[in-house]
Chains A and B, each alone.
Chain A
Amino acid sequence: MTERNTTTRNSRVENKRANGNAVKQAQPDVATARKSGGDAKELLISFYKEMVFIRNFELKASEMYQKARIGGYCHLNLGEEATVVGLMKAMHPDDYLFTTYREHGYALSKGSDPGKVMAELFGKADGISHGWGGSMHLFDKETHLMGGYGIVGGQIPPATGAALAISYKNKPSDQSPIVVCIMGDGTTNIGAFHESLNIAAVWKLPIVYVIVNNLLGMGTSVEMASGEPELYKRGASYRIQGIRIDGEDPLEVYNKSSEMFQIAREEYRPVIIEALSHRLKGHSVVDPAKYRSEDEVKEAEQHDPIPKVEQQLLDMGYITKADIDAIAAEAKKRVQDAVTFAEQSPNPDLDKLFSNVYATKINGDLHRLPGEPLFNEHSFDEATEKLK
């Protein structure tokens, strides 16, 4: 069983390469980046720094979760850093991002303050969702992060509607905002995915559906769950163009995503990107991942994008060992600062318990703590007076 799975996965990696090569290259890939020097160098170094930062943030989140400083569920982007950074850097600042519950890295890379993200994981008042969302529900109005969503596929219909709002207010152009909607591989089997793809196709919406394929749902492999395991093809029924890319190479993710984003921007039509990567750890911090063999885990580790980019940078002579140490130290410091900020932030004010249930003020009837009576005689008489 295990052997067969491994074989399938290996053949899929080849498949991935074949598809990657089939895509026309409007922008430089790693090879051209090597030749072009300058910008590509800066780009790759900056991507590497951000990947290292996200890695450190996630490892710290794992540690804080195990110390019970973080509650609920905690899903990490470990192994997906290249995908996260490549995608986020290809977005324009005013593009809208809808993402999943595995979204710390996306929030950070889209520009959210790390202290506020960590404070949200800690459930504090300065959290990016003011302590209401937690790890799975990060939101940042400033950076157009329109939310991490805890329900698998729940983000896809609203993301599609956000693209409708864009198309209602704007015209296609290379400067138009678009929506980027992130999802996992397992999500492509839920109805909301298919309904939304169809709607985006018939309404011609500027949206990019990104399938982050890390080969596993929680423990269910793509092959076990998907009739068409080459997930970028699943838009074919709606005539939506899709590509599969190497999600472990940040420059490839950046270049090919930029290309696909441009199609959505300039033509107002949906497109699909499937980015392949390997999840390094369990589904969430508490998952020991017993459904994977040692070999599979080892294989996943070989796909870790961070040592790969590191080696690339060294090979190209872009950075030295000393630079790597400095980058790691800087990342650790920033993460530690985020933890300090989160620790110092107060708990949310209990008086605010009812503040965010409704945006339009309603009468006080629904502001009742557990065990409180429906009517307090004093307030009842007052209210009755007002009715007269």
Chain B
Amino acid sequence: MTIKTYRQTLHDTLAEEMRRDQDILLIGEEIGHFEGSYKITSGLLAEFGPERVKDTPIAEEGFVGAAIGAAMLGLRPIVEIMTINFSLVAMDQIINHAAKIHAMFGGQATVPMVIRTPGGGGQQLGASHSQNIEVFYAHIPGLKVVCPATPADAKGLLKAAIKDNDPVLFLENLGLYGTKGEVPEEDYTLEIGKANVAKQGSDITIISYSKATTVALEVANELSKEQISVEVVDLRSLRPLDRHTIVKSVRKTSRAVVIEDDWLTYGIGAEIAATIQEGAFDYLDAPVRRVAAAEVPVPYSKPLELASLPDATTLSKVVHQVLDATAFTR
């Protein structure tokens, strides 16, 4: 194990995989000469050359689609979309094409590509640059969506995504790039579609993914000081969704709170809550609660922005509300 940042882990994993497989190309805006808007691809142009690290024009629909076609002919492109907000102009290619080509052509073509892109608010970037819209993609059969919360998971899931023969949206988060954690040194791959019990507990389950998992773990550790035993289920993958791990945990704890950085209505938490009510109805002591973003375009002003986003204090408060409503005793 080595301690590394999420950013460094992504960089190292990309380099490792590119050394292993000549069919991997990187495609994206400013990833070569500029070394990446968030420096994930720093140094890769120098090592692998312009044939494999392809700077693109500002044309998300064009280059995401180009990656699809390259994948159909057997390459394994990894696309970087600078932020998930810009993926919206490539949605026709992602949803109407990447997600459909295998099924629509009767299984004759495959699209083994990865789209890496960070979401996330909290950086004072204003409404058009602060969204968490992964649910758009998690809704679509034919796509896979993974959302690592830690550097180790970033390595394991990126390797899995690259080796997968389907289009995988690899969700990063601006707020995670600088976070540190232990990363296995060996060739480490996680299975796409399996959730992780990030912390064992018995009183209540918090379900989360991506950066919200760091908030969930922070709250779980704080609450342990109050003798409240929180289990944290980190989804790791939004599609496929590991419903069994969620339900198994809630059947054990009888209480559940979801924390998600996306908007409440029709958000990821809605699907989790529906899963829990169907799989653990008889076990539940209280309704499932969701802690999600306020339903506003994310504001620029710091106090307004903070007020709109879920945080540890809010999560802790909601956990207490659920416990209180069920006459929880330590």
Residues in chain A within 8 A of chain B (CB atoms)? 96, 98, 127-133, 137, 139-141, 146-147, 149, 151, 154, 156-166, 168, 179, 191-192, 195-196, 198-199, 202-203, 355-360, 362-363, 365-366, 373-375, 380, 383-384, 387
Contact = CB atoms under 8 A, between A and B. Distances in A.
22 contacts: A96-B73, A139-B109, A157-B63, A157-B65, A157-B68, A160-B69, A161-B70, A166-B73, A168-B51, A199-B57, A203-B54, A355-B107, A356-B103, A362-B193, A363-B242, A365-B240, A365-B242, A366-B239, A366-B240, A374-B275, A375-B247, A383-B244
B109 A147 contact: yes
B70 to A, nearest CB: 4
Contacts of B199: none
Contacts of A196: 62, 65-66
Given A96-B73, A168-B25, A203-B54, A357 B65 contact: no
B69 A132 contact: no
A165 B75 contact: yes
Contacts of A162: 69-70, 72-73
Contacts of B65: 154, 156-158, 160-161, 192, 196
User: Would you list the 7 A-B pairs with minimal beta carbon distance, nearest first?
Assistant: A157-B65, A161-B69, A195-B62, A130-B106, A161-B66, A158-B69, A139-B105
A75 B194 CA distance: 44
Contacts of B68: 157-158, 161
Interface string B231-255: 0000000011111110110000000
Given A199-B66, A384-B244, A132 B93 contact: no
Contacts of A158: 65-66, 68-69, 72, 93, 97, 101
B57 A202 contact: yes
B102 interface: yes
B93 A157 contact: yes
Interface string B86-108: 00000011001100011111111
Contacts of A131: 106
Contacts of B151: none
Contacts of A146: 69, 72, 109
B241 A359 contact: no
Nearest to A375: B279
Given A158-B69, A161-B71, A165-B73, A356 B107 contact: yes
Given A161-B66, A165-B70, A147 B193 contact: no
Contact of A151 (B97, B166, B274): B97
Given A158-B66, A165-B75, A357-B102, A387 B109 contact: no
Interface in B41-89: 51, 54, 56-57, 59, 61-75, 77
B34 to A, nearest CB: 16
Nearest to A181: B69
B93 A154 contact: yes
B211 interface: no
B243 A375 contact: yes
Given A129-B105, A154-B97, A362 B240 contact: yes
A155 to B, nearest CB: 8
User: Chain A CB within 10 Å — which of B61, B74, B245 has the most?
Assistant: B61
A355 to B, nearest CB: 7
Given A160-B65, A161-B71, A359-B165, A380 B247 contact: yes
Contact of A359 (B74, B110, B193): B110
Nearest to B101: A147
Given A146-B72, A161-B71, 14 more contacts: A98-B69, A133-B104, A147-B104, A149-B97, A161-B73, A161-B77, A202-B57, A357-B103, A362-B240, A366-B240, A374-B278, A374-B279, A380-B247, A387-B248
A127 B244 contact: no
B106 A168 contact: no
Contacts of A374: 243, 274-275, 278-279
B284 to A, nearest CB: 14
Nearest to A177: B73
B142 interface: yes
A130 B109 CA distance: 12
A380 B282 CA distance: 15
A379 B144 CA distance: 23
Interface string B120-141: 0000000000000000000001
Nearest to B163: A360
A179 B70 CA distance: 12
B182 interface: no
A161 B65 CA distance: 7
A168 to B, nearest CB: 6
B164 interface: yes
Given A139-B108, A165-B75, A363-B240, A132 B67 contact: no
B192 interface: yes
Nearest to A167: B51
A358 B110 CA distance: 9
A160 to B, nearest CB: 5
Given A160-B69, A374-B243, A380-B247, A357 B62 contact: no
